[in-house]
Amino acid sequence: MATVRQVQITFDCEEPERVARFWCEVLGYVVPPPPEGFTSWEEVDRTLPPERQGAAFACVDPSGVGPRLFFQRVPEGKVVKNRVHLDVRVGTGLVGEERLAALEAECARLIPLGAARVRLLRADGENESCLVMQDVEGNEFCLD
C-alpha cells in the first residue's frame, strides 16, 4: 500500500491570483518562482490561450512543511457553505481570555486584507473558542 506524503489544497474561485495573494498574507506563504525561462508569472500567463490566462495561481509554504495551495477559476460563484475549510491555528495551546485575545488580534490583522468576520464560537466545555471568518471571495475558514 502506498503512503501519501504530500497534499495540495485546491480552491475553486473567481480570481485565483487575488485569493492566492490573500492566503499568502494569512499564512506567510509565498508565490513560487516561475518556470525556468520565464522572469514572471505574468510572462507565463501571456503564453496561454486567452481563455486560460489568469485561470490558475498557487502559493507555497516557504519552509516546505505546509501543503501547496492551488487556486483555479471556475465559472460558477460560491452558493453554499464550504464542505471543507482551513483552520488557521493562531490560538494553539491558549485557553480562555488569552486565546480570545489571540483570535481577536489575528481577526483585526486579516480584516484590512479583505477577510470578513462571521461569528465567534465561544468555548463550550468540550471545544475551545474559535472565530469563523471568510476570505476575499466568501470562503469560510476558522481562526482556531
- pLDDT of residue 108 exceeding 80, the answer is yes
pLDDT for 75? 87
Give the cell for residue 127. 471545544
Whether the predicted pLDDT of 93 surpasses 80 = yes
The model's pLDDT over 117-136, given as tens digits with 9 standing for 90+, comes to 999 999 888 889 999 999 99
Please give the distance of CA 134 from its chain centroid, rounded to a whole number.
10
Q: What's the pTM value of the predicted model, to 2 decimals?
A: 0.89
Enclosing H/E stretch for 105: helix 96-110
Question: How far apart (Å, rounded) are the C-alpha atoms in residues 31 and 62?
Answer: 9
Spatial distance between the Cα atoms of 20 and 54, rounded to a whole number of angstroms? 12
* Mean pLDDT within 59-66: 96
**3-class DSSP state of 69:** strand
Go through the domains of the chain in sequence order and give each one's CATH number.
8-73 (no CATH), 86-143 (3.30.720)
| The three cell numbers locating residue 73 | 477559476
